[in-house]
Structure 1
Amino acid sequence: MSTTNNPDYIVVGGGSAGNVVSARLGAGRKGSVLLLEAGGSDLSPFIQIPAGMIRINPQNYWHYELLPDATRGGAVDTWAAGKVLGGGSSVNAMLWVRGNSADFDTWAKMGAAGWDYSTLLPFMKSLESYEGGANAWRGGNGPQRVSEVRLKHPMVRHWLTGAEEAGLPLLDDYNGESQFGAAWSQLSQRKGLRHSTARSFLAPARRRGEVEVETHAVATRILFEGTRAVGVEYEKRGQLRTVRANREVIVSAGALESPTLLLRSGVGPEDELRALGIPVVADVPAVGRNLQEHPAISMTFEVTERTLNQELNPLSILKGGLEFVFRRRGPGTAPLSHAMLFGPPLEPEGWPQYHVLMAPLGLAEEKPHSTQEEVAKNRHDKQGVAFSDRSIVSTFMSPVHPRGRGTIRLESDDHRSAPVIDHPMLADPRDIEDLTAAGRKVREIFETASMKPYVVTENEPTRDVHSDVEWESFIRGHSFGGSHWVGTVRMGDAADPGAAVDPTLRVKGVRGLRVVDASVMPTLTSGNTNAPTVMIGERGAQLILKDHDQ
């Protein structure tokens, strides 16, 4: 076992939040920062070029197999989380969705003081440079570039007009004054390339010598002296190493790995830890609870016009490649969603009922399965897909605030043993109702005057789905997760037994340890979760610096 020099701060996890925290803590070299990342470099064309997303190397992911989900016919999902510099921001769909103001006001009402929308808005603005320019809601001078989708496909224009005909307002900016309505997607892109937090925050900090980065460094446990966190043990190339922190250890490993690391380190439900022979540092029952994920369904339609599926032949790829190289436009910049809609508002909560994504492309139909086990397992694997050879338009929809909750626990104290993840995704019938409403709204849009002339057919398996019973059967048989895991180390006030960290993100029962990532969210936000996770990194760094008078 070897030991490296002692930095002021150790950040575990170089993902969407961890890179932000590291860069902000190291700014001006007021404090030394060591960032430990389990994965490797993000310098792959399949990561940096948006259209390469579905060809990202499987080694750039953690692969977690869940317990069978009885609410979805025994489905056994594999969740793929980013294992590379940039984390989720290097492997996600690049969609930039802050969430609804009601999301954050609800956090504050649940005990997360200082996390209401009005308090967080300055942090949302300070981290970004929005292509549309700074205003009362948007930032113009931050490290993170945010741009509108650069490929304005005609079918997307028709779809947005159809959404307006179906009663939805068209928005210039769903991250601005109002979220309700339909709009072009906003993306974490810079000049047509993916702009992950590894590019926006970490890379400049590394060039300035403000952050030291150790890649392929898998954290095995947090080191404690009494109840104070003093360092981290990690494994690199089969060798165990330790490093001590002069000030704090910050865990930013994500909503699946952060609770797992805490549990292995003796912070969690006392009875579970003792049963595994793990010495208990602090009895914090909330660690690993409150797991949330967006259930999703898809509907696809064959259309008369060329879609991006036709841009995959050799001639079109060459033409599109030249357009990408010289103009940073064209199919190479294409994300997996070109437009989206939110609505309608739910009362009394004030947030949208559902979120819909639309793309002028479609994946090949699933191959038939020979056994029920094959049907249940890996229902939706983004690393195992291919584009259809037909002209397809796709939509994906989710209820923005699903009621289902899951757990993460350990099966062994061995850091090489995967955690046990249990998430009954559709246990609450209201989530079925929200998905049904979203599906019917999507069908309504495709039947409007602006869209109907271009539609050849609605594809299977939704074509003959009409009644509530048929919708429920379809949803339970074909839904999948949106890769938006949150909540497993949630924040709240000191008296809340369901909270694992306080509003300053300090882990309860210990000192010198914080969690700064999506796991601290009390509830899911309204939409994709990368932007609010980056904001948590920005806000978390400010809280840490404030405590150390920097």
Structure 2
Amino acid sequence: MAMVVGGGDCAALYFYLLPLFVWITTLLTFCQGRQYDHPAQYRYSFIKPASSFSLPLSSAMPATYDYIIVGGGTAGCPLAATLSRNYTVLVLERGGTPFANANVSFMKNFHISLADISPKSASQMFISTDGVFNSRARVLGGGTSINAGFYSRASQSYIKRVGWDAKLVNESYIWIEKQIVHRPVLNRWQRAVRDGMLEAGISPFNGFTYDHLYGTKVGGTIFDRFGRRHTAADLLSSANPYNLHVFVHATVHKIEFDTTGKKPNAVGVIFKDENGKKHRAILSKRCGSEIIVSSSAIGSPQLLLLSGIGPKEELEKLNISVVLDNEFVGKGMSDNPMNSIFVPINGRPLKQSLIQTVGVTKLGVYIEASSGFGQSKDSIHCNHGIASAEIGQLSTIPPKQRTHEAIQRYKRRKRNLPHEAFNGGFILEKIAKPLSKGQISLLNTNINDNPSITFNYFSHPADLSRCVEGIRIVEKILKSKHFTNYTKLDDETMEKLLNMSVEANVNLIPKHTNDSKSLEQFCKDTVITIWHYHGGCHVGKVVSPDYKVLGVERLRVIDGSTFDYSPGTNPQATVLMLGRYMGVKILRGRLGKEAGV
């Protein structure tokens, strides 16, 4: 029997099948012949895998762009979105997208992303020569995709000192905040730390504010009330989609230069796609076209070095052709050292919170807090040991002794602690404007490998002195009435836990905070990072005040590698702002009042 379908039935069938057809077509378009985890991986039509870049290295007629941005990170995304309003922009990002990655998207998985050491993870672990575990972003959105989410602006004095246009800075911050920043909901741990800081003398209370002010305050966050992260990649929704191409898994290996003129002239980049195939992207010959490196405080100096810009002697050792001899590339790097105290509490388990409350002291120490990690000593948080995002803060193993074997011994010792020892929160103290300086240098010519990175934590005595003061401030907070009422840990219980902490090698509050030498050793033994490293391409040494690389044409660096110290209590707000700020400045420089921003 034949089935006859009437016009109405056809229309109905079409109505039901059309969404499926569109979904399949979209999926095939996005996947470009590869199997991907989720069709939402490419949220915007202009984001594609690098293998879909249309022109191979051997092409005689390469496509050209007005701007090539190397790194789709914290600064790169707002920069690209802004420049695309008037010019063609290519973004080359070595990592994948954050949109369908649950480890990136949800606050509850924050620690997992940082502990993931697989080649395709959103973070790339490195260990500095100091022995401190650290991470660098490898994902669209950069550090905003893997960090603790805290959002706080730079101080007015910082903005004035670096010579930024204060009005445009404010407008640029607001542009960011309207799109991805939220007001946090404080849980009981954050409220207790807030009240403890005020009682300990970190005043006044400035309430909820983005501004950098002395005293205690609540800052913004890029996590919404549902615990979902909003990254710099979300700012790409403000782009002109017709002018923007974003290629992920596109690893730039080298910037190419024309060296026939008075100064080397940046003309394009060589990058590899996810299959290892080489491609060339070329700048437009239009006046004003530029390559902009926004690859972070590690990636940007590393790429300059690999492209022939750096200390001549170092480059020649690796047979890298010298384009420009500049002794300062990769030098003067700093990381804000952090030490923490884990505070076990009685009662119901704490809810998870990342950084929300902060104390800005005049001693050059910032106090912050987090909670809800390590509810069980057998949990995944604990099993990641020293390399984890939060429970790693419990360890008292000195940095250079943090070997794989030491981690395993550490995990075994923790089993001796009672369950209640893992119900608690952290109080963190970190050093603002560290005076200890380090550097990065190439180990080889493979861009995928981490360079040698040294921060020289506490090599300057002033940094160590401030750490001691920071630990003493934390002690005052723990002894404050608000806090002791909250934690309900009597002296006998605390003494018991302190004694067990020695046996298990777990970092609870030091017993003798009146002993400076003991606290200095505690600072050295428990130092970790808060991921705020900066420098390597300093203004006046590697780049000009408008971030153009000195000694070459058509090349800028716009990211945290240009900072001489980390702005505000946490730098992400200012790095985000800088991307937008410089995008507007560049457009206004070319178009004047006609700039459509």
Q: Same fold (TM over 0.5)?
A: yes
SS in 1 for 2:331: coil
* SS in structure 1 at match of 2:333: coil
Partner Cα separation in structure 1 for residue 562 and residue 123 of structure 2: 22
Higher RCO (CA 8 Å, separation ≥ 6 residues): 1
Which residue among 402, 409, 415 is the counterpart of 1:376? 402
* Matched ranges for 1:520-539 at <5 A: 520-539=562-581
Q: CA deviation at 1:337?
A: 2.1
For 1:80, what is the secondary structure of its paired residue? strand
TM-fit CA distance, 1:66:
2.1
* 2:295 is aligned with 1:257: no
Provide the rounded CA distance (Å) in 2 between the counterparts of 1:41 and 1:264.
Answer: 25
CA distance in 2, matches of 1:216, 1:490: 28
Cα distance in 1 for residues equivalent to 2:71 and 2:446: 19
Q: Secondary structure at the match of 1:396?
A: strand
Give the corresponding residue for 1:78. Answer: 133
Aligned to 1:159: 193
> In the alignment, is residue 95 of structure 1 matched against residue 137 of structure 2?
no
**Amino acid of the structure 2 residue aligned with 1:541:** G
Q: How big is the alpha-carbon RMSD for the aligned residues of Structure 1 and Structure 2?
A: 2.8
The alpha-carbon deviation at position 340 of structure 1 amounts to: 1.6
Alpha-carbon distance in 1 for matches of 2:242, 2:311: 40
The alpha carbon displacement at 1:395 in A equals 0.8
1:357 aligns with 2:368: yes
Residue type of the alignment partner of 2:95: G
Q: Secondary structure at the match of 1:147?
A: coil
| d(CA) in 1 for partners of 2:539, 2:398 | 40
Larger radius of gyration: 2
- String of CA shifts for 1:146-200, please: whole Å, max 9, x gaps: 22222x3223323322222222222223423x5111223420134532111111x
Of 484, 487, 491, which residue of structure 2 is paired with 1:452? 484
> Structure 2: how far apart are the matches of 1:102 and 1:471?
32
Q: Which ranges in structure 1 are unaligned for 5 or more consecutive residues?
A: 70-75, 109-113, 130-142, 309-330, 347-352, 493-498
1:184 is the counterpart of 2:196: no
| Cα deviation, residue 275, structure 1 | 2.7
Correspondence for 1:513: 555
**Does the CA-based 8 Å contact 1:77-1:379 persist in structure 2?**
no
- Does 2:453 correspond to 1:421? yes
Question: How much has 1:379 moved relative to structure 2?
Answer: 12
- Provide, for residues 116-148 of structure 1, a one-character-per-residue CA deviation record: whole Å limited to 9, x for no partner: 75663333233322xxxxxxxxxxxxx3x3222
Determine if the alignment matches structure 1 residue 477 to structure 2 residue 516: no
Which whole-Å CA distance do the structure 2 matches of 1:191 and 1:478 have between them?
33
Is residue 250 of structure 2 the alignment partner of residue 202 of structure 1?
no
Residue 124 of structure 2, aligned match among 62, 71, 74: 62
Out of 316, 320, 338, the residue aligned to residue 356 of structure 2 is: 338
Amino acid in structure 1 at the alignment position of 2:108: A
Give the 5 Å matches for 1:460-499: 460=501, 461=507, 462-466=509-513, 467-492=515-540, 499=541
Residue 34 (structure 1) aligned with residue 90 (structure 2): yes
For structure 2, the residue ranges without an aligned partner over 5 or more in a row are 1-56, 387-393, 502-506
Q: 1:378 to 1:156 in 2, by over 3 A?
A: farther
Decide whether aligned partners of structure 1 residues 342 and 127 sit closer, same or farther in structure 2, where only a CA change above 3 A counts: same
Deviation at 1:97, TM superposition (A): 1.8
Distance of 1:373 and 1:438 partners within structure 2: 20
Number of aligned residue pairs: 478
Distance 1:6 1:191, change over 3 A: farther
Deviations 1:360-394 (A, max 9, x none): 3344575899x99983348999xx99997632121
Q: Please give the TM-score of this superposition, normalised by the length of structure 1.
A: 0.81
Q: Give the % identical residues.
A: 24
Report whether the alignment pairs 1:244 with 2:270: no
Instruction: Give me the whole-angstrom Cα distance separating, in 2, the residues matched to 1:434 and 1:60.
Output: 33
CA distance in 2, matches of 1:378, 1:224: 43
Matched to 1:485, the amino acid is Y
Q: How far did 1:96 drift?
A: 0.4
> Which moves more between the two structures, 41-50 or 451-460?
451-460
> TM-score, normalising length from structure 2?
0.75
Question: Alpha carbons of 1:13 and 1:400: their partners in 2 closer, same or farther (altered >3 Å)?
Answer: same
Deviations 1:375-431 (A, max 9, x none): 3348999xx999976321211110111111111111233434431212211101111
- Residue 282 of structure 1, aligned match among 324, 328, 351: 324
Q: Which moved more, 1:166-175 or 1:532-541?
A: 166-175
**What SS does the aligned partner of 1:53 have?**
helix
Q: 1:20 to 1:87 in 2, by over 3 A?
A: same
Structure 1 residue 128 corresponds to structure 2 residue 185: no
Q: 1:277, CA displacement in angstroms?
A: 1.8
Which residue type is aligned with residue 215 of structure 1? V
8 Å contact from structure 1 (residues 61, 84) kept in 2: yes
Distance 1:146 1:487 in 2: 26
CA contact (8 A) 1:294 1:481 kept: yes
Distance of 1:23 and 1:162 partners within structure 2: 42
In structure 2, do the counterparts of structure 1 residues 55 and 415 end up closer, same or farther at CA, with 3 Å as the change threshold? closer
Answer yes or no: is 1:235 the counterpart of 2:272.
yes
1:155–1:305 CA contact under 8 A, matched in 2: no
| Letter aligned with residue 308 of structure 2 | G
Q: Paired residue for 2:439, among 404, 407, 426?
A: 407
51, 57, 66: which one aligns with 2:108: 51
Question: What is the CA deviation profile of residues 48-100 of structure 1, one whole-angstrom value per residue up to 9, with x for unaligned ones?
Answer: 11121112244212232322x2xxxxxx2332111011110001000102132
C-alpha distance in 1 between matches for 2:403 and 2:555: 37
